[in-house]
Every structure is written in structure tokens, then in C-alpha cells.
Chain A
Amino acid sequence: MKFSLSWLREHLDFTASVEDICARLNGIGLEVEGVDDPSERVVGFRTAKILEAHRHPDADRLQVCRVAGGAGSENVQVVCGAPNARAGLHVIFAPPGTYVPGSGITIKAGQIRGQDSGGMLCSLRELGLGEESDGIAELPDTAPIGIPYAQFAKLDDPVVEISITPNRGDALSIRGIARDLAAAGMGHLKPWLTEAVEGDFPSPLAWKTEHPGCPYIVGRVIRGVKNGPSPDWLRRRLESVGVKPISALVDVTNYLTYDLGRPLHVFDVKKLNGSTLTVTQAARETFRALDGKDYVLGTDDMVIVDDAGVQSLAGLIGGEASGVDDDTTDVFVESALFDAVRIALTGRRLAIHTDARQRFERGIDPALVLNGLEAATSMILDLCGGEAGEITEAGNLPDWKRTATLRFERLETLGGVSMTPDDAVLSLEHLGFAVIERDEDRAVFAVPSWRNDVARGNALAQAASLDEGRAAVASRHVDQIEAECDLIEEVLRLYGLDSVPPVSLPLSTMISAPALSPLQSRNGLLRRICAARGLMETVGFSFVAHEDALLFGDVPESQRLLNPIATDLDQLRPTPLINLARALSRNLARGLGVNGDGALFEVGPSFDATGQHLRLAGLRGGLTAREPGQPSREPTLWDAKADLMAAILALGVPEASLSVTADAPGFYHPGRSGLVRQGPKVALGSFGELHPGIVKALGLNGTVVAFEVYLDAVPLPKNKRRTAPALSSLQPVRRDFAFLAGPDVQVQAVLKAARMADRNLIQDVRLFDVFEGASLPEGHRSIGIEVVLQPQDESLTDARLDAVSKAVEAAVLKATGATLRR
């Protein structure tokens, strides 16, 4: 919403500067988007007159002029190339030092082809005000000489643009803004009165409304008008707020739209068919509007029809067929109440953005339906002459009167301010609220017609899960409390929210409990562990390309957006690995990730048919850095497994409870991937090389390894309290074993069997070697393990050592069939 200060003065007596006005507007919720002072763009330009003009002695197309340009420039020589420069012409003069916005240069005194030139004569384009033209601007002969051009052209009128929140339809009018400013102490609101114009003849047209979206509509014919361009003041006003002047009749409706927030429409009576205009539902017609565009209507849209069809899209835009033009002599003026939701829905669907829609959508002042028509009548009679007919109407003005009660103590107990009841009441009265009753504790106000947002009493949408009693208690006072909050909001915004004293929140204890639950805080731990292991944390979109998602498995339609913003952002991701792989691909394409830094992770949601799950996902690709004596290498699945195990163990999962199975999801290399399980059923995570086919499909090269932790499946540690460790003073004894293992034997089983062979003595079992080769039977491996024996109370005897060795050998043989190599 734009307004100029001169227009504001029509409704508000004020002496404040534009800066003060803007600061106050910001404070009271009418946020200033910008201030445009056109005079600032044309600083230095003056009105002037060419006294003499002669041809330049050395240039055919130049003239040497003597110019009178006011104080200090009474008689200046200026060389000018414009063909229309001539003696006696009133012109715009830029003395040296003037910045010319149209060409971006600053005028200097100098010589042109040997002739002194002390300034420049300008076109409007050079001032940034007009189109390209053949010559310099020609001012009327009546123009004074030597005054600032901005003053002459009445450009010294700053225009303020404010954004209006959806609740404040009343502020989409200059009068509404003036009212708010007056209430905020920025001047006095001038009275606004419109006189009823008596109709001189019965209305030749009648209204009928059969659409529920139009409860009330009025209109009148004015005949014998003469349409044409509006007077300068009106044109300038409309232009100042960005509205293009069209003709007096149209300009009047636009003027009142801005001035009072009262949209109106004018029909050319002679272009209408029949004697009845009906507000009704559209019937899938195609309608050509005043903007020259054709709109295909539905059946919910509200239209105004005559005998020939649709003449106007109610509350949005008029029709081309019945629009006024310069030949219009009889005009029918419409003023109506239209349903905000109906207008919003049609406007949105047809993408019609008009000043009328903007106002109807937010709700207009019902009391202005008739007064707005009268104001328009007076203006049209003034500007276009003619005689007004009687007013015709249909429907009834709905009862808009509402009350709201303010308990004065609530200013402090909700608003946090201590102010006198008198001050609060006065503020509300300035906004148009009228006291109906008042006692020591409270006042009841009548809500003014233009404040659609106050005490509306919208329907509740209580949770379905609430029991009846609770729902009833919660809702019993809500209407009164909302109306009271509305009033407090008005009082506070005028009082100034900055004046409300800030108060620290009371704490029930000096030290607050942790903000994060144990489940939440472990995500931070995981991030730190991954970052410490060289992985960069990323944040990826929750949606990815459907095609990418398909590569990673289950992609249910239930997790596909109905209205994606782009085709590559349409599927909620089954795993963050998709984002990581795409990110790795981008980085490698930029030549990054070849120094061991092609490592990314994310802690974020994944989505499948059962819903949303939290995952830690990590990815390594590219190459490690080359070091002296150490060539670069690709990551291996062991890097990913190490990352995965570090994460799982950090979460407090006992290592002994874990096992690995080779049935990882299909996006991994089937022979180089695994699931880490706790017990037989629960999978905590996966790791491995990405499937070569997927690597290729994602535009990646080389080996890419990945891991995921299914965080929802990882339990919190059961017992935080630790038992004291047995720290023996005796040295551990290490014994190596090599087993010949058949093709199906897993190292995991060998290690586990060895560990369980003597649970008291065997503290640890480590794999130190795996060997395959021609010296072994086909498909067999030699598995070398180191068993660490920790005596507790006495040194191990040879007999005990021997017994443990035999137990290890027997346990491994029994569990896996692998035999000890001797």
C-alpha cells in the first residue's frame, strides 16, 4: 500500500517529518517497505527560459543559447543540441554540479566546439522521468524562472510504501492509515463526511443477488456525464501511488479504492443488456476482462450478469464489453459487500491481482457500501457533470455490530504494562472504538465497522483427541478472551511495544535441567565423532529425485510430493546417502576430494512406507592424499566399517552383543557389505562398498564406501553405572594361532569361538593375518589370531597354557570346522 504525504494530508493534520511518520508506522504494525521522494532524484534542476538562440559557428546541429536560470545563472551561455531549443522557450536547466540521473553524469562548465557552455538544457528522460524524446522538455510559458524543477512539477511529495498484514483491511486506505497515525499521536484525523445525493429519476437498472457470497449490493445510474482525462491533481495522486490514470470515471473508482478502501465498479449503461444485473454463480463461461485477458470461469466463481451474459467478475475485475470509455454518457456505479473467501479463492485460481481483490480479501467496511456510492456520485458529478438517479439495491446489509470487553488489569497481567484505564480507553476511542459501558475494572466497547479483525469469533478447531469435558472448559471463554486480546493488542501497539519493560523469565531452580534428552544429545555426540574421524557434516534436502531414490530401494508413492517444486525434488528420501552421493559427485567434479577429504556425513531423516526415521549416514570416495613414500588410495569398505563401529560403540552398545551378517541393502556391493546386528533380529546399521551399478548411475567414479546407522533401532545404554575393572598386576600372555578354514568359515565365528573358549582367562582375541594361496586347498584361508590371556592372581603354568591352547583349538574346530595349522 502506497500513499503520498499530500494525500495523507487530506485526512490527517500533521506537522511531523516523513522520518517520524515512518518510525511511528513501523511501531504500530504498518511496516514501512520504502520511502520514495521523487524530488531527491532531480536535485539541482531548475526552471529556466531561453533568452536567445543562435547557430553554433562551428557546428550545424548545435545552438548557442543565452539562458535565464535564476539566482547565479541570470544569463548563462549554454550550448544545446536539441532541435527544439529556441528563444522564449521555458526549459529545465541543469547548472554545473547537477547530477543527471538519466545519463549518470555530473554537469561541468566547459567548452563545446570552442563555445563556452555553463550547464545543460534537459529532456524529461535525462531527469529519469520520461521516455526518449527528440528534444528538450518544453515547459508552459507560465512556468516561473529559477525555481527547483521538483517544486514546479510538484515532485516534492514523498511516497511511503507500507506492507499491510492480512488482518488490517482497514489500513488499505489512506483514511485508515491516517486514523492509525492520529491515534498514535501523529496529528489529528480530519472529519470525513459525504452528503447523500438525491436521485432525480428512478433507476433504470435493478440489482438482484442470488449468490451467497454477496449479501448486499447497491448502485445508481448517473446520466449525461462527460468522460475524459481527469484533472491534473487526480492524475498526479493516482500516479503517486502507482495507479495509471485512465479516464475520469475509472479514476474516481480507483481514487476511492485508495482513499477509503472502498472498491467500486462502473458500467457503461448503454453497453448493458436488459434492466437487471444479477450477482450469481458463473457457468464455465469464458470472460474477457478489462485487462484484455480471457478468463475461463468455474461454477463457484461469483459473477455479475445481464441478459447477454457475464459483465463483471465480482470483486475482482470488470468486463471489457461493458467498460466505460470516452464516449460513455450514462454510467452505472456499483458498490457491494463480497465474501472475502470467495474473492480470495477465485482471485487466486485465476491469478488476478487487483486493488479490489486485495481489499475484499481482507474484508471491507460494511458501513461504506452506501457512503462509498454517495462519495463516488459526488465526485463524478463534480468531474463529469450529469444527473444522478435513485439508488437501487439488493440483499441486506448484514449486522456487523460487535462488542469487546477490556478488563483493565489484563493490560498488566497479559500485556506487561502498567497504564491508567483512561489512557487505554482514550487510545481505543481514537481508533473508533466507542465505550458502551465502563466501571472501575472494565469497559465494554462497540467495535467500529471497519475493524473486521476485532472480536470476530472464528470457529475453533479443537483437537479430536480431547475429551468432551476438557474441550468444553477450554472453549467456554475463548470468544471474550480473544476480543479482549484484540483490544490489548490495539492499546499496546499505540502505546509502543518498545515501552513494555522486559522481564526475565522466572526460573524454578538456579541450574536448569539439560535441554536435551539422552536420545537427543547422542546426535551431537555422533556428529562430533564423525567430524573427528574426518567426515564433513552436510545438510541435504529431505526430498530427492524419484529416479535417484529408486536406486536406493523402496520408494513408496505415499512419500512422493503431490506438488513438487522441481522434478528432481519430488520424493522423500529413503536414505540420506542419496544426498551424500550426489554431493560427493559434485565435489569430485570440482576436483575436490582427492586429499582424503572426500568424506561426508549427515544426521537426518529418512522416509519409507512406515514413516520417518532418523539416520546417521556417511560416505567416503575420491582418494587419500599422496604422501612421500605412500601413494594415494581409494577408500575401502573397512574405512566405512570402522566409521560405523566407532559410531555404534560411542552410543554405548556393548561390542560383544554385535554381529555382522552379509545381507546389507541392495544398493551395496553384494559381496562387500554387511549389516551390523544386535541379536538376531535388530539391525543397527549397514556398511560396505556402494554397488558399482549405482556408482555409475550417480555419475561417480572409483570405489565409494558408505555406512548408515539406524538410530531409531539403537537402544540407550541400560546401565550407566560402571562396575570396577579388574586391573591385574600380572603381564598378559599372547599366543598366536593359525587356523585352516574352509570357504564358508567366517572370521567372526572363529574369533567368537576362541573368545568363548575360556571366558575367565581370555581377555581379547584379535585377527592378525588372513592368507589365501596356492599352498592351501582351493577356497581355503589361513586365519591367524592372537589370543590375549590375562592371569588374575598367579602366573600361568605351562600346563594351564597348554590346556587353554587346546581349548581354543577345540572350540574353533567345533564352531567352524577350521583346524589348527601346525
Chain B
Amino acid sequence: MIATLALSSLIRHRARTALAILGVAVSAAMLLDMVMLSSGMRESFRSLLLSQGFQLRLSPKGTLPFDTEATIRSADSLVALLRSRATVAAVSPVLGGQLHFAVGNATLTATALGVDPAVQGDYELIAGHSPTAPDEVVVNDAVLRALGRAVGDTVRAAAGYDPQLRTLSGQRVLRIVGRVRFIYLALDQRAAALPIATLRAMNGPASAGRASLAMVRLRPGVDVDRERAALEAQLRTVTVISTSEALKQVDERLSYFRQLAVILGAVSLVVGFLLVTTLVTVSVNERIGEISVMRAIGVRRWRVVAQILLESSVIMLVATPVGLALGLVTARWLNSILARFPGLPERIDFFLFQPSAAWTALGLLALSGVLAGVYPSWRGASLPIATTLRQEAVG
């Protein structure tokens, strides 16, 4: 009977019920989006950093990897020292730079990464093979498109360009041996990778023995934080960054979005709560006479409360899945806007659906909506029966 009465009451005020469901659904969508935003980019970045299994990154003292043009001197001895440690499974040195490809009379510039192909963690091979010989290079689709070349072709490239003399320096003829996807670079960013020794030689003496970054993969079971502290204490010219440290930096830089997400998520929760409270209060006030009659004919107080709570529960239960669908659609739209950040790696998602977080948020909204009906329903069911009936009858 409770369910029938609750449903009849909702159906009797169709417009009001529909608007309430829509209002709660939009609140739920907003809350879901904000939960996805607050945790999504962190998780997305974490999985990006750990995707190749390197837990530590060494960059020039006081800098973040590739945040400046600074490089590590004597990088080869640093790599040798790292490889000699029992805790280290692999070390991948990376030198950043530029390659200028000659295209007719013009040049086409691309980001260049000098890597150790055997242990590199900067790209995924799509076609061909990694550069093993000194004159081999792998490039991404953006370079292939711009050059109009394919895997197997040769290109003339230089590491330096003097704009005043319009001359190229450190020129080499390189053979494209692979098509790759760079993990940490933007999708539309032209990039190429070649053996680090080749890039150093092309750069000239200033680059000898240097690296921009060294990535370290630890052996299974090694305590990452302890190893980071040990390396930091031992190596004075580099900053050692663990994944958690990098995430802390990311958190700091993107704290604006996280805080925005928390504020808007809280506002959504409050709006959902207020909406249901208002609806239930008005609904109870309208039906005071009806409630008093029910009480007068012997319906228990808890059954009256249960009926009203059921109404708010139905609104929440119908609105939450609608909100979930709406939230996923808007998250996709918002993510497509933020994905246009210049230089953002392709794999970074600002809005990441994590079932546990999403269900917790939506469950919280549903619970708050149901609780919002407790006070008005209890107040309605507790009114003095005779007085209320007389007032209702007299008007």
C-alpha cells in the first residue's frame, strides 16, 4: 500500500516530479563529473608515468624532467653508477633536443629524443623496429605526414640551425626505420627518436656525455622511496623524482582544477539535497489533511513517514542513473575541451571514470536526497490529528 500511495502521489504531480528528477539528475551529473575530474587526472598521470615500469626519474638539480633546457653533465658515468646498484634493474638515459629536416629549401623542426633503444621508455613502436644503428631514426605520424615520407626512406637532418646565417649544423643522413607513438608528448607534436650517441655527436662537443633525464626501473620488491632518498643523498647534481613526488608536483600545478572540482561537487550535493527537501516539504504541507486522515483511521506514524520517504527515494533512484548517463556525456565533452591543452600527452584524461569513486559519489547524493525527506515527513506525521483535521475542514 505504501508503494502504491507514494507512486500515486508522484504521478498526481507529474510536472513537479519530472522537474525534480531532472534537477537531481543534473546535480548527479555535475557531482559525477567533478569526482571524475578530481581523481581522474591524477590517476591518468600516474598510469602514464608507470606505463613503462620506470619508478624513478633523475633530472638536473632543481628541475623537473624536460621543464628546462638544463642537462646532466657526465651522464654516462651517472648511468654506469646507477646500473652498478643491486637495486636497479634498468636505466634509460634520454637527451632532449631538436632535429631540423631539410624539405626542399625549407626546414621542418621536430622534437628529438636521444635514447638507448634497448631500454627506452619514451615511445611505443607501431611499425618497423627501434633504431639500432647510428644512422637510424624512428618518427611519429606527425613527422611522416609533414615530410611526406614512409618507413624505409632516408632523410637529411641537422641538430642545429643558425637563423642568421641560415645554415644547418650537425647534419646527418638518417634512415627512418620505425613509426612510433611517443608516450609523453602531445599527439600533434612532431617528434623523432634516435640513439643518444648519434644525437650527442650531431649536437657537437657541448652535448658530449650529457643527458636531460635518466629513468630508473627498480628490481621487484625494492622500496622506491628509500631508494629515492639514498640516490638523492648520494648524487648532488641531480634531483631524484619518484612517481609519488611527480604526482605531488602535478597535484600542485593542477590544484586549481582539483579545488574547483571539490567546490562544484559540494555545491551539486547541496543543490540536490535542497531540491529534495523543498519538494518533500511542499508535498507534505499540501497533504497535511490527507496525512491526518490516514493517522485518524489508524495508519501508524512510521508508515506515513515511510510513504513520504519512498517518494523521495523514487525521485533519487530514477534521477541517479539519468544523472550517470548525463554525467558521462558531459564528462566526455569537457574532456574534449581540456584535451586541447598545448603539449598535453595524448594519454592524459582529465575525466576518468573510476567505478568505485563514481558509485560512492552517486550513492552519497542518493542518500542525502533520501535523508532530505526525513525531517519534513516526520514533522507532517507528528502533527496533532484532531486540530489539523479541524483546520483543514474549516479551511
Whether A and B are associated in the same complex: the answer reads: no
